[in-house]
Amino acid sequence: MNVGNRNTAGLTIGVLALQGAFSSHQRAFERVREGVRTRQVRLPRDLDGVDALAMPGGESSTMSQLLGSSRLFDAIATRIASGMPVFGTCAGVILLAKSVLDGRDDQRSFAALNATVRRNGYGRQIDSFEADIVVAGLHAPFPAVFIRAPIIESVGTDVEVLATHGGVPVAVATDRIVGITFHPELTDDLRLHGLFVDRIVGSLATNRR
């Protein structure tokens, strides 16, 4: 299934492969657009040549520790500062947020998204749920899967809210960052991966012409 009509041949999206359903993200990106390639990112050298990065769900404090022990944290921070687009889902939003509530004292974030995020905002694993949500730019509701999801408590004026659930933002974006509190990779719906490619990564292909 190809969504949209941008020329994305040769684009490489790195997928942080420390925890979570990173393989599902890879399959989604490779299906959503012809020519898009993915690469698992576990070490700083894996970032070489990637045009964008996806940060999947997982346990955010553990991911923070693994980013440090693998020496990936500083390497990713440098790439984000230089303009690398990032697609963060669930724990990925926590890693991107400027402010994290209920995190460990030693937990680090990239502070790339001007938002305040609360870990496990909807409760424990047993409180996981599914809901159809309306997302800006999509013509039909998206089947969202929330698993120990964070809550975006506030966003800055530079952050666009793409979707809400119960009056709370669940999908937000800036010019280079897309943050989603649920798990689009756990559905067969590729539209949010396509939205990222169209909105952010696709612009890189345009600039190369």
Give catalytic residue positions: 90, 183, 185
Question: What is the chain's alpha carbon radius of gyration, rounded to the nearest angstrom?
Answer: 16
CB 99 within 8 A of CB 108: no
Please tell me the distance from the alpha carbon of residue 110 to that of residue 188, in angstroms, as a whole number: 29
Please tell me the distance from the alpha carbon of residue 147 to that of residue 36, in angstroms, as a whole number: 28
Please tell me the distance from the alpha carbon of residue 179 to that of residue 94, in angstroms, as a whole number: 9
CB 39 within 8 A of CB 10: no
The DSSP call for residue 126 is G
Which is nearest to 8 in space by CA: 170, 198, 205?
205
CB 44 within 8 A of CB 75: yes
Spatial CB neighbours of 105, under 8 Å, sequence gap ≥ 6: none
